[in-house]
């Protein structure tokens, strides 16, 4: 009988992140426990704690794992079309497993400052880079003002879309709302 080999490194980490994502999808953030993730991943809690100091960090890492490479910054040659393309892709993805996990994490923010901090870092690392990239190209084309790639400015359209999801409890937003966000707020804000 062959002895089962022990998983290590990237293989173990991927198994833990898959298990955490599955737990988040099934039980939401309130039901996420290190014990259940360890059991599902076929490892022990120590292996998890060596990588992630708390469940907030694990939850956000699981979200990143599921959402990785889902979106790439569009390059249509027009800031308006790039912004609309990106918002539409995000909007369509709101019924995906990654979006369900993110909504679950966002609902837990009020009770846990550590989760709020982890999500803030995730937003700064992920979405801001993509939006800054499309704005930087627009600056180079003369469509956007210099300095508009500042993360607070560049991500305004995304923040307004997230606000629609959070305040209205929606999983998708009508396209006319996306056009209004871009035409009435985003372009006047970042335009040259």
What does the DSSP assignment read for 56-96?
HHHHHHHHHHHHTTS------S-HHHHHHHHHHHHHHGGGS
pTM value > 0.85: no
Torsion 155-156-162-166 (CA) sign: positive
Per-residue pLDDT tens over the stretch 125-157 = 556 788 999 999 999 999 999 999 998 899 999
Predicted pLDDT at 4? 46
Predicted pLDDT at 5? 52
């Amino acid at each position: 009988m062959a002895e089962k080999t022990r998983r290590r490194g990237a293989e173990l980490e991927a198994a833990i992140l898959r298990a955490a994502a599955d737990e988040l999808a099934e039980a939401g953030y309130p039901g996420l426990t290190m014990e259940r993730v360890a059991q599902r991943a076929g490892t022990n809690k120590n292996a998890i704690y060596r990588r992630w100091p708390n469940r907030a960090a694990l939850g956000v890492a699981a979200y990143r794992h599921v959402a990785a490479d889902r979106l790439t910054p569009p390059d249509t040659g027009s800031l308006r079309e790039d912004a609309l393309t990106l918002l539409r892709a995000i909007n369509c993805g709101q019924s995906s497993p990654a979006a369900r996990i993110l909504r679950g994490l966002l609902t837990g923010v009020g009770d846990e400052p550590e989760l709020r901090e982890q999500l803030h870092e995730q937003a700064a690392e992920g979405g801001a880079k993509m939006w800054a990239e499309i704005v930087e190209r627009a600056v180079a084309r003369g469509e956007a003002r210099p300095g508009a790639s500042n993360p607070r400015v560049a991500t305004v359209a995304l923040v307004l879309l997230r606000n629609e999801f959070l305040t209205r409890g929606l999983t998708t937003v009508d396209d006319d709302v996306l056009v209004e966000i871009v035409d009435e707020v985003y372009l006047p804000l970042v335009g040259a």
